[in-house]
Structure 1
Amino acid sequence: MGSNGQKEDHASELAGLFSLRKLPDAQSDYASARYVVLGVPFDNTSSYRRGSRFAPDAIRNAYWNLESFEFHYGVNIPDAMIYDAGNLFESEDVEEVIDSVETAVRYVSADGKVPILLGGEHSITVGALRNFRDCGMIIVDAHSDFRDSYMGSRFNHACVTRRALELLGPGRIVSVGTRSVSREEFESEEWKDVRFITADEVRERGIRDVIGEIRSMGFRRVYFSIDMDGIDPAYAPGVGTPEPFGLTDRDVRELIGAFAGITVAFDIVEITPVYDNGNTSVLAAKFIQEFIGQRERKASKKP
Structure 2
Amino acid sequence: MEELRIQANGNLGPIDSSRVPRFAGAATFARLPRLDQVQHADVAVVGVPFDAGVSYRPGARFGANHVREASRLLRPYNPAWDVSPFENIQVADAGDMAVNPFNINEAIETVQQNALDLTASGTKLVTLGGDHTIALPLLRAAAQRAGEPVAMLHFDAHLDTWDTYFGAEYTHGTPFRRAVEEGILDTEAICHVGTRGPLYGKKDLDDDHRFGFGIVTSADVYYQGVAETVARLRERIGNRPLYVSIDIDVLDPAHAPGTGTPEAGGITSRELLEIIRGLRGMNLAGADVVEVAPAYDHAELTGVAGSHAAFELVTLLADNAAGGQARNGYARQSLARGREAAAVSAGQEAQESFE
TM-score by length of 2: 0.75
DSSP 3-state at the match of 1:95:
helix
DSSP 3-state at the match of 1:188:
helix
Residue 260 of structure 1: CA displacement?
A: 4.9
Which residue matches 2:233? Answer: 214
Of 295, 301, 305 in structure 2, the residue corresponding to residue 283 of structure 1 is: 305
Q: 1:264 to 1:280 in 2, by over 3 A?
A: same
Residue 298 of structure 1: CA displacement?
A: 4.5
Residue 232 of structure 1: CA displacement?
A: 0.8
Amino acid in structure 2 at the alignment position of 1:86: G
1:224 aligns with 2:230: no
1:252 aligns with 2:280: no
1:34 aligns with 2:42: yes
Structure 2: distance between partners of 1:141 and 1:69 = 28
Which residue matches 1:23? Answer: 29
1:170 aligns with 2:199: no
DSSP 3-state at the match of 1:259:
coil
Which residue matches 1:201? Answer: 220
Structure 2 residue runs of 5 or longer lacking an equivalent are 1-25, 144-148, 326-355
Deviations, residues 243-275 of structure 1 (Å, cap 9, x unaligned): 010111122112212225421101000011000
Which residue matches 2:330? Answer: none
1:72 aligns with 2:93: no
Of 79, 83, 92 in structure 1, the residue corresponding to residue 92 of structure 2 is: 83
Contact 2:99 2:111 in 1 (8 A): no
Amino acid in structure 2 at the alignment position of 1:234: A
1:265 aligns with 2:274: no
Q: 1:203 to 1:292 in 2, by over 3 A?
A: same
Which residue matches 2:319? Answer: 297
Of 113, 136, 141 in structure 1, the residue corresponding to residue 156 of structure 2 is: 141
Of 258, 261, 273 in structure 2, the residue corresponding to residue 238 of structure 1 is: 258
1:120 aligns with 2:130: yes
DSSP 3-state at the match of 2:41:
coil
How many positions carry a matched residue from both structures?
284
Q: 1:41 to 1:215 in 2, by over 3 A?
A: same
DSSP 3-state at the match of 2:81:
coil
DSSP 3-state at the match of 1:245:
coil
Residue 169 of structure 1: CA displacement?
A: 4.7
Q: 1:157 to 1:23 in 2, by over 3 A?
A: same
DSSP 3-state at the match of 2:80:
coil
TM-score by length of 1: 0.87
DSSP 3-state at the match of 1:157:
coil
Contact 2:150 2:186 in 1 (8 A): no
Which residue matches 1:17? Answer: none
Q: 1:105 to 1:185 in 2, by over 3 A?
A: same
Deviations, residues 15-67 of structure 1 (Å, cap 9, x unaligned): xxxxx973244226453211111110111121111000001111111111222
DSSP 3-state at the match of 1:214:
helix
Amino acid in structure 2 at the alignment position of 1:33: A
Contact 1:136 1:219 in 2 (8 A): no
Amino acid in structure 2 at the alignment position of 1:103: Q
Q: 1:122 to 1:70 in 2, by over 3 A?
A: same
1:161 aligns with 2:187: no
Residue 77 of structure 1: CA displacement?
A: 4.2
DSSP 3-state at the match of 1:116:
strand
Structure 2: distance between partners of 1:56 and 1:71 = 25
Structure 1 residue runs of 5 or longer lacking an equivalent are 1-19
Question: Which is further off, 178-187 or 149-158?
Answer: 178-187
